[in-house]
Amino acid sequence: MEGLPDNVLFSPNRIHGEQVANKVERLFKHEMWLLTQLLPRVLLRLGRCTLEESVEAKREIGVLLLNANTTTVAALEVWRRGYPLQVGILLRNAIETIATAAALNSDAQAYEDYKRKKFKSSAAFTIVKRVWPVIGDLLARINGDLSRDFAHLGDFYRGWQTVSTELNDQDILALRATLLPIKFTFHVLDLLSEVTCYDFVEDRRYWSRLRPGAYQYSPTTAAERWMQEFLAEHVTGKGE
């Protein structure tokens, strides 16, 4: 509008988001600390892989995972500002991207189809369930839930999904419910990026190489402790 500062129309939303974010960070202080331990590790190995990997397929898979990581970071940022509905929309995209990367990493024909732009990302879940049953089943189930509830107009759209600056009990419940799939998505990125960027990981925690192209999931004791702590719920108070 003529005569008004460029940012005046967005100031109320920005102020609300910043107020909520400040309280959320105090409320979920331990969760945020755990994320600061995980995110640089994943980003560093994926960045090195895409820059230094000599195998084209590995580089392209690394790029997919970088995009999935960025989308999940965006979901975390939206979550901090109190927009739970939009978290689900972003995570659905991230989960499908992760599943595609996992499929290309384990199925040579899928990668050839991807190179020819003939691969359908919806087929990725079937492939991942075959080669990585437990995680594949979980990815497919979460993708279905996110598609039903967020990507399409599910029941959540019947009410205004937002978080108040007061952070009442209902707000905290919504934040806790949407943080778990964010953490799960980052955890899968941690697992998958370690095995796809194996040669660029100095402190391997989940996988051991049996022979070229073959890996065994064998988490260390430290990794098991990390998973137990990272995937738990930590709420320190009302965030005042």
pTM over 0.75: yes
Low-confidence ranges of the chain (pLDDT < 50): 1, 4, 8, 239-240
Contacts of 102-106 spanning 24+ positions with Cβ under 8 A: 102/127, 102/128, 102/131, 102/132, 102/135, 102/136, 102/139, 102/192, 103/127, 103/128, 104/57, 104/60, 104/61, 104/64, 105/57, 105/61, 105/192, 105/195, 105/196, 106/131, 106/132
3-state secondary structure of 52: helix
- The single residue listed with the structure tokens 């994320």 is 35
φ/ψ (deg, to 5) at 29: -60, -45
Task: State how far the alpha carbon of 56 is from the alpha carbons of 125, 196, 201, 221, in Å.
Answer: 23, 12, 18, 33
The pLDDT value recorded for residue 167 is 78
The pLDDT value recorded for residue 228 is 93
How far is residue 127's CA from residue 107's CA, in Å, rounded to a whole number?
Answer: 8
The pLDDT value recorded for residue 187 is 94
